Amino acid sequence: MQKLDLITDFAEITHGAAITTPTHGWRAKCLQRLGRLDMPVPRTVAVSAAAVQAIAAGRSLDCAGVLACFGPDALVSVRPSPENPEWGGPSTVLNIGMNAARHAGLVLTHGQAAADALYLRFVQGYAVHVARLDPDMFEIAEPSAQALRDALRAYRDEMDEPFPEDPARQLAEVLRSMARAWAGTSARLLRQSKGAPEDAPLGLVVQEMVQGMGQGLSGTGVIQFIDPVTGLEQITGRFVGQSQSTDLNDVCEEALYLTRDPRGPSLEDLAPEIFATLARQGAACRAKLREEMQIKFTIDRNSLAVIDAVRVPRSSRAGLRIAVELAQDGIITREEAILRVEPRALSELLHPQVDPRGPRDVVARGIAASPGAATGRIVFSSAAAQASESRGEACILVRRETAPEDIRGMHSAVGVLTERGGMTSHAAVIGRGLGLPCIVGASDLSFDAKALTITSKSGRKFVEGDVITVDGTTGEVLAGATEMLPPALDDAFRTLLSWADDVRDIGIRANADTPADALVARNFMAQGIGLCRTEHMFFEEARLVAMREMIFADTPADRAAALARLLPMQRDDFVQVFEIMQGLPVCIRLFDPPLHEFLPHSREGMRELAEALDRPLSEVIRRAEALAEFNPMLGMRGVRLGIVLPEIYDMQAQAIFEAVIEVARRGGSIVPEIMIPLVSARREVELVKTRIDAVAARVRTAKLTDFAFKLGVMVETPRAALRAGDIAQHAAFLSFGTNDLTQMTYGLSRDDAGRFMNTYVQQGVFPEDPFHILDVDGVGELLLIGAERGRQTREKLTLSICGEHGGNPESIAFCRKAGFDYVSCSPYRVPLARLAAAHLALLDPNDGN
């Protein structure tokens, strides 16, 4: 009667058994595939996920039935088999079934020492992991007959019963403990952090042990056929004599080389036939399992068994190369290769490195936790990082250690430096996830959280705002900015992205403000520039002076004179940008920020300015005060400035047109796109358009040549989105500036939101920071309204997004579904966007244009 209650939901893994990943987990399925490839896999039984769930709920498996699948003297192991290998699982338990009788048998086959060691190991593992006894009581340095007796006695003393002799009971207890561990809170949280659903199932595999201990060549090893960091072909792994599979995790000096090596004996030397078999099996795995696998094998008295195989754990770089090479070898399709590479993983490959040829002013060293290098100003809090980002200023977030609430600050920083932590600390894990250069555990820097300083061992002190460079590849913190090398984009990277370009159906442009940005954009194969913020061209020293003269001009004539000095500089920039982009579209945004941003803020700066302009300090101060606004972001900026001081836009238009002519003279060609910022009414566009047309006519006449250009509008105010139908009468294109549009839709300052954003997100007011992840419900609705109304007026209206959201896969999906022509994002996000767009085209082919 009782037997009827036992669960019998298990199956021996034979070639034809009905084993599937959802029912039995990936490991069970993988072992079946290895068996089908005729690999010497020991007999294995798969316990279904449903059975494991029932065991966790208190029911029992028919363990005698499971063991009947094996020989009468077999020992078995139990390994976890979740649906996805990334989700982990409870630790493997080996040598189940060991008791006095089997120990005696093993003494005959494997010798006394091996038999004692195996029995002892089982007692230890069982006592600690299954009976949950104190590990200290079972810590034994050297296995011996005495140590075994001690361990058995310690078990009996603690549990008030002898160590269980019945293999079925042992197995039942192991299964119960593994099922419960999987159901426990910490395991659940851990796997959820790796993307597992809350109720992710766990299968288990019970496998006949191959000892790896005893006479002849015996031991356990792992072998893989690619370098896990680069993805290049190379045999790596280890083999440890007289060992079992769990020993491979220990550091062990006696490990053998796998391939022939001048430094010592290798498996290839000692067992060339076994080595050759493994190499053949690796190739078979690659071809038939369509993956680079790491094979775990045991050699028991000269005979080989393959006990397990997993996908080779790999860096992003290696993952990309593996996918490309599998496709190039015809093992998987190009589409599959594209889908195998997670777009966000690309950012790790894209970061600049410190140029080794340049000087390095090293002030501290830490753990190189996330590769790439970045230069920025020190900030000590996430709020400061967010404020810095909204000012367009690169910053390095410096913390004692980071916590989950720092995630928004990390998003805003170009690099992270922490005093504490290791490779798996929060900063390191998140830094790698974001592709953010990161150094952790820089303990030779002393961090004063009150005074907001960091001090190097040699006494050099750094305060907020100081510029440092974080070299996340070497773990070195450098003072100041350094020469950087552009990222190494290898052939595999380029190949994958060219395949992605073949399938995607939405354009990807870059936001690039300077010729240097344009070069990066071009290097990453952006299809043009979607936003060139021209004011960024004015911040260089010489230009700033002319700019300030323009701001302080008393009369239109004075202003025209100052602008005349800016014109050639701006024209030269445009010539360079156009030439770099080689005919690809370039969308230039006319001057946008409030003028006071160009004035000095300190008294000292004002004095210097007074000197440079040859005016009294009091007048400079008065004029600066007159420019101050209560809400500068909602004041005289964007097109409002263009209408009140139209000479600025006139100069910019002239510079653009003259640059077009110059590029044409040099044999190139470009149709520039001129974009008017911060529009809220059609009349604004009409006024600017009339002047720009007039400038174009003047330049055409003066230069006796013709050229074309497009005029469009940047939709950054809710009113512009609502009135897009009207506005589109004068606009060839609309580009949604979702930074300002988010700011204005929420009535939430971009510069101040950092102060309370964490609280808002924590309390669920906003699901996410809307400046980081596009608010599809609110801002998104304005985008849809604007797009629809704009296209009603002008069917061929070009639509795009150019706010910071442009590079997020979620926003790309939204824009693609809404029928936008392209997204524009920062140059370093272009590859990610290209790949994300390809994923969307492959996964949702009906959503695209």
Q: Is 161 annotated as a binding residue?
A: no
Residues in binding contact with ligand PEP, number by CB under 6 A: 10
Q: Is 269 annotated as a binding residue?
A: no
Among 369, 802, 813, 835, contact with ligand PEP (rule: CB under 6 A): 802
Burial of 356 (C-beta count, 10 Å sphere; 0-12/13-18/19+): exposed
Strand runs labelled E in 451-496: 453-455, 461-463, 467-471, 476-479, 484-485
Whether residue 802 lies in the annotated active site: yes
Our finding on whether 716 is near ligand PEP (CB under 6 A) is: yes
Pick the piece of the chain touching ligand PEP (CB under 6 A) from 126-134, 370-378, 539-547, 731-739.
731-739
Q: Is 631 annotated as a binding residue?
A: no
Q: Is 740 annotated as a binding residue?
A: yes
Pick the piece of the chain touching Mg ion (CB under 5 A) from 79-87, 487-495, 549-557, 737-745.
737-745
Q: Is 665 helix (H, G, I), strand (E, B) or coil?
A: helix
Of 647 and 740, the one with the shorter C-beta distance to ligand PEP is 740
In whole angstroms, the minimum distance from the beta carbon of 531 to ligand PEP comes to: 6
Q: What sign has the CA pseudo-torsion 484, 570, 507, 668?
A: negative
Of 476 and 592, the one with the shorter C-beta distance to ligand PEP is 592
Of 327 and 774, the one with the shorter C-beta distance to ligand PEP is 774
- Return the closest-CA partner of residue 401 out of 387, 381, 383, 421: 421
Three-state secondary structure of 560-613:
HHHHHHHHHHHHHHHHHHHHHHCCCCEEEECCCCCHHHHCCCCHHHHHHHHHHH
Q: Which residue has the tokens 């079925």?
A: 168
Kindly give the pairing relationship between strand 293-300 and strand 303-311. antiparallel
Of 196 and 779, the one with the shorter C-beta distance to ligand PEP is 779
Kindly give the pairing relationship between strand 233-241 and strand 798-801. unpaired
Of 529 and 531, the one with the shorter C-beta distance to ligand PEP is 531
Choose among Mg ion, ligand PEP, none what residue 533 binds, the Cβ cut-off being 5 to 8 Å by kind.
ligand PEP
* Cα→Cα distances 200→54, 189, 830, Å: 14, 11, 34
Pick the piece of the chain touching Mg ion (CB under 5 A) from 112-120, 184-192, 540-548, 739-747.
739-747
Residues 6+ apart with CB under 8 A from 430: 402, 407, 410, 436
In whole angstroms, the minimum distance from the beta carbon of 637 to ligand PEP comes to: 9
Annotated catalytic residue within 30, 438, 802, 815: 802
Gap between the Cα atoms of 849 and 821, Å rounded: 8
Of 275 and 733, the one with the shorter C-beta distance to ligand PEP is 733
In whole angstroms, the minimum distance from the beta carbon of 679 to ligand PEP comes to: 12
Among 89, 352, 376, 737, contact with ligand PEP (rule: CB under 6 A): 737
Show contacts with ligand PEP in window 502-531 (CB under 6 A). Answer: 531
For the record, the structure tokens of 18 come out as: 């009905």
Pick the piece of the chain touching ligand PEP (CB under 6 A) from 449-457, 567-575, 621-629, 734-742.
734-742
Of 294 and 738, the one with the shorter C-beta distance to ligand PEP is 738
Question: CA neighbours within 13 Å on the CB side: how many for 378?
Answer: 22
Pick the piece of the chain touching Mg ion (CB under 5 A) from 215-223, 368-376, 523-531, 708-716.
708-716
Kindly give the pairing relationship between strand 76-82 and strand 202-208. antiparallel
Our finding on whether 740 is near Mg ion (CB under 5 A) is: yes
According to DSSP, residue 357 is labeled T
How far is CA 748 from its chain centroid? 28
Cβ proximity of 387 and 371 under 8 Å: no
By beta carbon distance, the residue nearest Mg ion is 740
Choose among Mg ion, ligand PEP, none what residue 375 binds, the Cβ cut-off being 5 to 8 Å by kind.
none
Residue 8 CB neighbour total at 10 angstroms? 12
Binding mask 715-734 for Mg ion (x = CB under 5 A): -x------------------
In whole angstroms, the minimum distance from the beta carbon of 531 to Mg ion comes to: 9
Q: Is 834 annotated as a binding residue?
A: no
Q: Is 121 annotated as a binding residue?
A: no
In whole angstroms, the minimum distance from the beta carbon of 736 to ligand PEP comes to: 7
Q: Is 540 annotated as a binding residue?
A: no
By beta carbon distance, the residue nearest ligand PEP is 737
Kindly give the pairing relationship between strand 476-479 and strand 362-365. antiparallel
Annotated catalytic residue within 24, 110, 129, 426: 426
In whole angstroms, the minimum distance from the beta carbon of 735 to ligand PEP comes to: 8
The alpha-helical segments, DSSP class H, found in 484-555 are: 491-503, 515-523, 541-552
In angstroms, the first-to-last Cα distance of the chain is: 64
For the record, the structure tokens of 500 come out as: 């992605």
Our finding on whether 740 is near ligand PEP (CB under 6 A) is: yes
Amino acid identity, position 114: A
Gap between the Cα atoms of 699 and 656, Å rounded: 10
In whole angstroms, the minimum distance from the beta carbon of 392 to Mg ion comes to: 11
Whether residue 536 lies in the annotated active site: no
Of 549 and 716, the one with the shorter C-beta distance to Mg ion is 716
Residue 725 CB neighbour total at 10 angstroms? 17
Cβ proximity of 700 and 663 under 8 Å: no
Among 241, 737, 754, 807, contact with Mg ion (rule: CB under 5 A): 737
Instruction: List residues binding ligand PEP (CB under 6 A).
Output: 531, 533, 592, 716, 737-740, 802-803
Footprint of Mg ion (CB under 5 A): 716, 737, 740
Which residues are annotated binding-site positions for substrate? 533, 589, 716, 737-740
Q: Which residues are catalytic?
A: 426, 802
Q: List, as residue ranges, the binding site.
A: 533, 589, 716, 737-740
